Structure 1
Amino acid sequence: MSGNSDPLSPRAKLAVTAGRAVAAASRAAGRGSGSVIGGRVALKLDPDLLARLAQHLDVILVSATNGKTTTTRLIAEALRAAGPVVSNALGANMPAGITSALAGGSDARYAVIEVDEKYLAGVARDTDPKAIALLNLSRDQLDRAAETRMLAEHWREGLAGSKSVVIANADDPLVVWAASSSPNVVWVAAGQMWKDDAWSCPSCGGVMQRPGDDWYCGECGFRRPTPSWALSGDHVLDPHGSAWPIHLQLPGRANKANAASSAAVAAVFGVPPQVALERMYQVQAVAGRYDVVQFMQRDLRLLLAKNPAGWLETFSLIDPPPTPVILSVNARGADGTDTSWLWDVDYTRLSGHPIFVIGDRKLDLAVRLEVANQTFQVCENLDQAVQIAPPGRIEVIANYTAFQDLRRRVGN
């Protein structure tokens, strides 16, 4: 960067100011945070604004189909040990939302940015990131995201020859194949519960062999790389073989995996694992998910699950039967309008739980539960489901817009 202490041109400053004004007006009108519309206006006025805002920052990009919002929060928390951080913590993860987030971080040293999978290559080109964390690739929004293999191809092309340090999950063959075009990769054994998107080799199409936790293609020799970081139970193993305890307020194996990847990212910037992991304890809930709220004299725990991989991880962390479970599924624009993914979820894992079904697509879900031989009741809304649920804390699992609806209803 040049010696100029303010890297923004007059045009860029105008774009930032206009974007903030539009965002403020949107908030005042009760239409959400305004970050996306503000970012759109700013980018219209200065199409190079994202690159300009990023040039004085150490940028870290986080992309995946599951866990990116939480991991972004964990990395941001860890890096605050090394300096001020700006982040799109509310999950506005396309270029307009990212531009808005960076425009608000004038004194920051680091930018920890969640990026929608489809935009990763373009945002990486604009922001020249120091590090990119890739967690997983699984089926999601079938109506508009191409199949996972094509997304992996897009990542692979976008990362080819990249100067960034890529921190990638060694247990996901699609992520490994995408990251392998990059010259500087740190491999993390973060695990992978959902395997149904990687039975064929992304490199040659051959059948993937999966002995134990290992994987390899019997035909072309593409195989799991040796990780330098690993999740091992409740510890992160660093490249020197030291085990560091994970202390999280967030539940479940998936969040331990997110913490392992986050520790590996923090280490790139000189933050030791012990410091990074201690700081991650601060994170209690992420944009409402994992929050326990009081509603109609009951405790409800709000859990977000957007695709089959997410539902599988969520089932593993709910309280045992007979804890009541409310399931809510919508299929609006932000969710993807195709609900055929419901057939990829193993709902037999809910056996023994009283199940209540709500949401725009409750009948699609009811058919799926019927086929899975589950006992359930279809309800008109959250209030009715809570009223008839048996005693005890209630687990509420919802996909994206259904989750936002729930948060509004319970005042969270």
Structure 2
Amino acid sequence: MTQLPLRAQLASALGRSAATLSRMTGRGDGSVIGGRVGLMLEPDLLRQLARDRRLALISATNGKTTTTRLITSALLEMGEVATNAFGANMPAGHVSALSQHKHAPYGVLEVDEKYLPEVLDTTGAGVVCLMNLSRDQMDRAAEIWLLAQKWRRALSGKPTHVIANCDDPLVTWGASTAAKVTWVSGGQRWKDDSWSCPECGGPLERGEQRSSWGESGPGMPTSHEAVATISTARHWACRECTFHRPEPQWILDDEAVIDPRGRRWVLDIQLPGTANRSNAAMALAVSEAFGLPVERALPRLREVTSVAGRYTTVERDGRHARLLLAKNPAGWLEAFDVADRSLPIILSVNAQGPDGRDTSWLWDVDYRILRGRPVFVTGERRLDLALRLDVANVPFTLTDTFAAALAMQPPGRVDVIANYTAFQQIRSEFGRAV
């Protein structure tokens, strides 16, 4: 890699020192303060740190931290990888990540949806992965079609290779101006933000869903038949203009992914749920864009068991709590898919700055799925959530703290779903388990 100018070297070194001091004093993991210090001393530091590296930028409303982790794990097969593992997904976090791994030839950076155009322009990343767009932090985030429009403008005229989920119409629209796009059919369970065409505003028509086949075997369809059937099931198109779902090169088919050559690979990853299989499919497509074949990337994906505390099980007094993160309606839908319906469940909701202070999104979540199991409600905005559950006729127990809710459980397993700051508070109680 090209030697950094002296000023950039000094800024990077002081940033690393600030990050180390932050960790040693228990103020945080240093992934933001280190970058802020570096950028104060050298505003162009991100561009200089990104030079001569092969970079992938990962952006979405949900799943970007997990997908970043999966891609990083795969690319470690090829060499050292710089990444913002703890989710600091704005330029300060990117500077910190690249500074900490200053000799890494590869970089995988999670990027906040709003910052993607700026970060792409600054870094000149060769690969961009776009997965989904849905409402989030409604008091301070732009309408998601505006975000998709910014993506379109940012990608237009750039040689970037885009890996995009073609089952999400907004993502497809945002990615369609790129010079090169690899389309992945990763599914889209949450559709309430994409019933209208982003091109003309007309209604979108969708294909009928089907039940998936299991693993390939006698009597099962061939991969080519599977591709055709899934493509029909997930097809969408505008009734009033020509905007429609492109044909995918990669297909998520329940427990497996079908690659561009029609080969079917059983994922068998340790991270639970449909959403994580979709994340894995995106990760495999990005890995191949870097020249890493599926047979080398997939075993690396299978090694990932938790991501910044997500899916971790923590223990206290014989109670084993599995931690699930859900920040918005689409995220809650995926968390319900992962949660064990036979177990009690603790729900915790805050409304601090990183969460968004508007909790009206709770009314877009269908909580009726929780009927029939013990439900415990806590968090700073527990009364907001309690009202929503009451309207949904879901019985619950209201508690002042997470510790009190956990203490009410019998010894054994319990699931916990929390939004961002509530999740981080719970992690802190257990030493920020990862």
TM-score strictly above 0.5: yes
Equivalent-residue separation in structure 1 for 2:310 and 2:193 (angstroms): 25
How do residues 39-54 of structure 1 correspond to structure 2 at under 5 angstroms?
Answer: 39-54=35-50
Tell me, yes or no, if structure 1 residue 380 matches structure 2 residue 376: no
Report the CA distance shift for 1:142/1:77 in structure 2 as closer, same or farther (over 3 A). Answer: same
Question: Of the candidates 131, 147, 160, which is equivalent to residue 127 of structure 2?
Answer: 131
Equivalent residue, structure 1, for 2:166: 170
CA contact (8 A) 2:205 2:236 kept: yes
Give distance in 2, aligned partners of 1:320 and 1:26: 40
Correspondence for 1:353: 373
The question of whether the paired residues in 1 share the 8 Å contact of 2:321 and 2:414 is answered with yes
**How far is 1:43 from its partner?**
0.8
By how many angstroms is 1:11 displaced? 0.7
1:35 aligned partner: 31
Question: Residue type matched to 1:289 in 2?
Answer: R
The residue number in structure 1 matching 2:345 is 325
Partner of 2:319: 298
Kept in 1, the 8 Å contact 2:346–2:378? The answer is yes
Q: 1:296 deviation in Å?
A: 2.5
2:234 matches 1:238 = no
Give, as a single letter, the amino acid of the residue that structure 1 aligns with 2:131: L
TM-aligned CA deviation for residue 28 of structure 1:
2.7
Q: What is the SS of the residue equivalent to 1:316?
A: helix
Q: What SS does structure 2 have at the residue aligned with 1:137?
A: coil
Q: Could you tell me which of 154, 173, 197 is aligned with 1:201?
A: 197
The one-character-per-residue Cα deviations of 1:284-303 (angstroms, maximum 9, x if unpaired) are 10001100111122010000
Q: Is the 8 A contact 2:19 2:34 kept in 1?
A: yes
- 2:226 is aligned to none
Q: What CA distance in whole angstroms lies between the structure 1 residues aligned with 2:409 and 2:381?
A: 20
- Confirm or deny that 1:315 pairs with 2:336: yes
State the match for 1:399 in structure 2. Answer: 419
CA contact (8 A) 1:324 1:390 kept: no
Please give the alpha-carbon distance, in whole angstroms, between the structure 2 residues aligned to 1:64 and 1:164.
17
Amino acid of the structure 2 residue aligned with 1:266: S
Instruction: Give 1:283's match in structure 2, choosing from 300, 304, 329.
Output: 304
**Unpaired segments ≥5 residues, structure 1:** none
The alignment of Structure 1 onto Structure 2 pairs a total of residues equal to 407
1:107 aligns with 2:103: yes
What is the rounded CA distance, in whole Å, between the counterparts of 1:236 and 1:283 in structure 2?
18
SS at match of 2:323: strand
The residue that corresponds to 2:390 in the other structure is 370
**After superposition, what is the alpha-carbon deviation per residue over 1:231-279, rounded to whole angstroms, capped at 9, x for unaligned?**
0111110001000110211100100000001000001111111221111
Q: Which amino acid aligns with 2:320?
A: D
Which deviations, in whole Å up to 9, do the C-alpha atoms of 1:111-162 show, x marking residues without a partner?
0000001100000001111110001000000011111111111111111122
Q: Aligned match of 1:220 in 216, 232, 241?
A: 241
One-letter amino acid of the counterpart of residue 42, structure 2 = D
TM-score between the two structures when normalised by the length of structure 1 = 0.97
Deviations 1:200-244 (A, max 9, x none): 111111111112221110001210000000101111100010001
Q: Spell out, residue by residue over 1:353-403, the C-alpha distance to the aligned partner (whole angstroms, 9 max, x if none).
A: 110000000000000001111000110112221222355410000000000
Is the CA contact (8 Å cut-off) linking 1:325 and 1:353 kept in structure 2? Answer: yes
Q: TM-score scaled to structure 2, two decimals?
A: 0.92
Aligned to 2:278, which of 257, 269, 272?
257
- Is 1:340 aligned to 2:360, yes or no? yes
Q: Which residue of 2 aligns with 1:17?
A: 13
* 8 Å contact kept, 2:197–2:238: yes
Q: Secondary structure at the match of 1:342?
A: helix
Query: Structure 2 residue aligned with 1:95, among 74, 84, 91?
Result: 91
Q: Distance in 2 between matches of 1:291 and 1:284?
A: 8
For residues 174 and 198 of structure 2, what CA distance do their matches in structure 1 show? 9
Q: What are the superposed Cα offsets for residues 62-106 of structure 1, whole Å, 9 maximum, x if unpaired?
A: 000000000000001111112211111111100001100001112
Looking at structure 2, the residues matched to 379 and 44 of structure 1 have their Cα atoms a distance apart, in angstroms, of: 44
Question: CA contact under 8 A between 1:7 and 1:52: conserved in structure 2?
Answer: no
Could you tell me whether the CA contact under 8 Å between 2:199 and 2:243 is conserved in 1? yes
Distance 1:410 1:374 in 2: 29
In 2, distance between residues paired with 1:34 and 1:93?
A: 13
Structure 1: distance between partners of 2:3 and 2:117 = 24
Q: Which amino acid aligns with 1:389?
A: Q
CA distance, structure 2, for counterparts of residue 158 and residue 66 of structure 1: 21
Superposed structure 1 runs of 4+ greater than 6 Å apart? none
- C-alpha RMSD over aligned residues: 1.1
2:358 alignment partner AA: D
Is the 2:318–2:411 Cα contact (8 Å) retained in structure 1? no
- Give me the whole-angstrom Cα distance separating, in 1, the residues matched to 2:18 and 2:339: 41
What is the identity, as a one-letter code, of the residue corresponding to 2:334?
E
